[in-house]
A and B are shown apart, each in its own frame.
Chain A
Amino acid sequence: MAAIAEIAQETKPQRVSSGRARRFWNNRTLLLMCLPAIAFFIIFAYLPMPGLYLAFINYNYSDGIFKSPFVAFDNFRFLVINGDLWRLSFNTVAYNLVFIVLGNVLQIMVAILLNEIRKKWFKKVTQTIMFLPHFISAVLIGLIAYNILSYDYGYLNTVLESLGMEPVKTYSNPNIWPFIIVLTFLWQSTGYGSIVYFAAIMGLDNEIIEASEIDGANAFQRIVYIIIPWLKPTFIILMLFSLGGILKGNFGLFFNLVGANNTALYATTDIIETYVFRSLMTNFNFSIGSAVSLYQSVFGFIIVITANWLVRKASPENSLF
């Protein structure tokens, strides 16, 4: 008996490890199938992460990463004292909030109105056109903006002059830019974003609509009391997800609209992404750029976790983790 117990005790840990080995062996093909993707994310996403150490040193090219002096939180202190961090955070968050609110309102409106329209050809043609801006590169968006806003030749000034008004110097007036950027964002994303809401309306049970008709609801009441409440959960979920990314800016949009070195507009158009890009490519201040990135990643992480916690409260099946 004792011998058996001894053997049992001896084999127990072995069994665990052989269980682990067996698990590995049974899953080997599926693991191999995941290997390219794992390698991809290790190289392009995980390897750069330790590089955020740059935020705590005063990087200079000749000393490299390991010999440049360690300065702890000096880079962050510098960014707080000169006001950059506050300005960048404010711009990034404010733009995103306006994008989220106006974007969703407009998307819902387009989806509801499209649903009211009966003529199929009209729906098809307008939808195709409204998606179009989503399919072009950020470079072309910059060029289109130039086409409209250029002081000398822009269409806006052509129109203003023909109305007898003064032409505007758009590219040196920072106060107009929030409007331009928001309008461009709405122009590019509304048609495409309305798809989700349109699909949600299609999921609404026809019997509910018919019942409301029998009860005497008119078209306006149907929209206000049935369709909009029906879209509310989709809206809440999409909004919470966008809130998770509120510290992430749309680099392509801002960079191509404003231009690479238009310092006159930074006050109202500089976001975290454009600042980091400049600190890398123009000022070669790698440590400051990394400090801003680290700040963005850490706070972004906290915000996502919070947003996901809210999603889980609102609708558990939609939460990400």
Chain B
Amino acid sequence: MENTGESRSIRNDASGIAVKAFGYLFISIFAICCLLPFLLVLGTSFTAEASIKKFGFNFWPREFSTFAYKIVFENPDLMIGSYIVTMAITIVGTAAGLFIVAMTGYALQRPDFGYRNGISFFIYFTTLFSGGLVPFYLLMTQYLSLKDNYLAVLLPGLLSPFLIIMMKSFVRSIPHAITESAKIDGAGDFTIFMKLILPMTTPALATIGLFIALGYWNEWYNSMLFLSPDMEYRPLQLFLYNVVTSADFIRNSSAASNVELRDMPLESMKMATAVVATGPVILFYPFVQRYFIKGITVGAVKG
């Protein structure tokens, strides 16, 4: 972890060595358990279908094959389309959501804002009581007509009470005197927010932006509810969900790639699609995990 510094143990006696040995052992085993399932998916995606049928899924391909990837990329339209849809939703949603969260969080943290308690409660109350899935579904499909519309995925993911509370805790560390002196100099509230507060909160914005972006990238729930499988380009996780669960999909891609249905690498294709859909995020995340750590330590207790 980034800001953790030195460990606390000082002296080595018998119990110290025992505790340490147990620590190394336990943490190693746990970390390996966290990693292995990913390797299983990766290994299976490179295994020939005949070998899977005979020996089952395995970490190390007995018979190496890239056939599954060939099928996935044979018809790259769908995959690339899904990538573009997900990236567009992620970028637009993160930019818009981050702006709204930051603006609201700043306003609600201003001690001189007369309505801050009322609005804070108005937002917080939504975590205490909710209308549930059925009314939400009816609202989205019948009243807002967002069925088969990407906005049905984009809009509900924009913000959450949790992110606004997190922004508030970040802004709290900026002295109110900065706002006050800018006001004396004649700056308006929005100008103060844009010109002074935003540049000072970039680490917070990075953290909150990453939370929103990760939410969009992994979004499958609203996609599954509101986007039908016959939409041509679906968000990545819905695409993966359809590949994993639907036989129709395999039939279609068999027709598209001129491979006989019985020769389709059903199992390895699921894994290959998962690797292609998830790989980039996993490669990206070690570089940004410190922002997530900051977010959870700031937002956890008062979340």
Smallest Cβ-Cβ distance to A276: which chain B residue:
B133
B263-303 interface bits toward A, Cβ cutoff 8 Å, 1 = contact, 0 = none: 00001001100100110011001100100110011001111
Contacts of A126 in B (CB 8 A): 27-28, 30-31
Q: Give residues 49-103 of B contacting A (CB, 8 Å).
A: 52-53, 55-59, 100-101, 103
CB within 8 Å for A137 and B218 given contacts A27-B114, A31-B115, A191-B34: yes
A202 touches B107 (CB 8 A): no
Bound CA span A117–B296, Å:
22
A174 close to B (CB within 8 Å): no
A143 touches B244 (CB 8 A): yes
Question: Which of A148, A289, A292, A297 is close to B129, meaning CB atoms less than 8 Å apart?
Answer: A297
CB distance from B160 to the nearest CB of A (A): 10
A264 close to B (CB within 8 Å): no
B20 touches A116 (CB 8 A): yes
B8 touches A196 (CB 8 A): no
CB within 8 Å for A158 and B56 given contacts A137-B218, A297-B130: yes
B119 touches A34 (CB 8 A): yes
A206 touches B8 (CB 8 A): yes
Bound CA span A128–B193, Å:
35
How many residues in B have their beta carbons less than 8 Å from beta carbons of A?
A: 110
B178 close to A (CB within 8 Å): no
Contacts of B139 in A (CB 8 A): 43, 47-48, 51
A81 close to B (CB within 8 Å): no
**Residue of A47, A129, A252 with highest tally of chain B CB at under 10 A:** A129
A276 touches B132 (CB 8 A): yes
CB within 8 Å for A130 and B34 given contacts A117-B27, A135-B282: yes
CB within 8 Å for A48 and B136 given contacts A132-B285, A320-B124: yes
Interface-located stretch among A5-13, A66-74, A93-101, A107-115: A107-115
B245 close to A (CB within 8 Å): yes
Contacts of A41 in B (CB 8 A): 122-123, 126
Contacts of B7 in A (CB 8 A): 115-118
Contacts of A43 in B (CB 8 A): 139, 144
B184 close to A (CB within 8 Å): no
Bound CA span A123–B1, Å:
8
A263 close to B (CB within 8 Å): no
Contacts of A33 in B (CB 8 A): 103-104, 106-107, 189-190, 193
Bound CA span A218–B9, Å:
10
CB within 8 Å for A290 and B135 given contacts A147-B57, A190-B30, A219-B19: yes
A132 touches B38 (CB 8 A): yes
B150 close to A (CB within 8 Å): no
B220 touches A137 (CB 8 A): yes
Contacts of B296 in A (CB 8 A): 192, 195-196
How many residues in A have their beta carbons less than 8 Å from beta carbons of B?
A: 114
B18 close to A (CB within 8 Å): yes
A177-219 interface bits toward B, Cβ cutoff 8 Å, 1 = contact, 0 = none: 0000000000100111001101101101010011001000011
A133 close to B (CB within 8 Å): yes
Smallest Cβ-Cβ distance to B47: which chain A residue:
A153
CB distance from B144 to the nearest CB of A (A): 8
CB within 8 Å for A30 and B4 given contacts A48-B132, A293-B134: no
Question: Which of B16, B53, B57, B164 is close to A37, meaning CB atoms less than 8 Å apart?
Answer: B164
Bound CA span A305–B282, Å:
39
Contacts of B58 in A (CB 8 A): 155, 158
A260 close to B (CB within 8 Å): yes
CB distance from A250 to the nearest CB of B (A): 11
Q: Could you tell me the dominant secondary structure of chain A's interface residues?
A: helix
**Residue of B1, B221, B296 with highest tally of chain A CB at under 10 A:** B1
B11 close to A (CB within 8 Å): yes
Bound CA span A41–B5, Å:
41
Contacts of B107 in A (CB 8 A): 30-31, 33-34
CB distance from A290 to the nearest CB of B (A): 5
A268 close to B (CB within 8 Å): no
Interface-located stretch among B151-159, B169-177, B247-255: B151-159
A139 touches B244 (CB 8 A): yes
CB within 8 Å for A130 and B31 given contacts A118-B9, A196-B296, A201-B8: yes
Q: Give residues 277-316 of A contacting B (CB, 8 Å).
A: 277, 279-281, 286, 289-290, 292-294, 296-297, 300-301, 304
A17 close to B (CB within 8 Å): no
Question: Which of A204, A304, A318 is close to B8, meaning CB atoms less than 8 Å apart?
Answer: A204
Bound CA span A318–B303, Å:
10
A223-258 interface bits toward B, Cβ cutoff 8 Å, 1 = contact, 0 = none: 100010000001001100100000000011000000
Contacts of B124 in A (CB 8 A): 320-321
CB distance from A136 to the nearest CB of B (A): 6
CB distance from A123 to the nearest CB of B (A): 8
B289 touches A131 (CB 8 A): yes
A-B contact pairs, 15 of them (CB 8 A): A27-B114, A33-B104, A33-B106, A43-B139, A44-B155, A116-B7, A133-B34, A136-B278, A138-B221, A147-B37, A218-B14, A219-B20, A220-B18, A281-B225, A320-B302
Q: Which 10 A-B pairs have the closest CB atoms?
A: A51-B135, A293-B132, A48-B131, A137-B218, A48-B135, A45-B126, A113-B23, A29-B189, A219-B16, A218-B15
Other than A37-B100, A252-B221, give 16 A-B pairs with Cβ distance below 8 A.
A34-B108, A37-B159, A38-B119, A40-B100, A49-B129, A113-B23, A116-B23, A118-B9, A130-B30, A155-B40, A191-B30, A219-B13, A276-B133, A293-B133, A294-B132, A321-B124
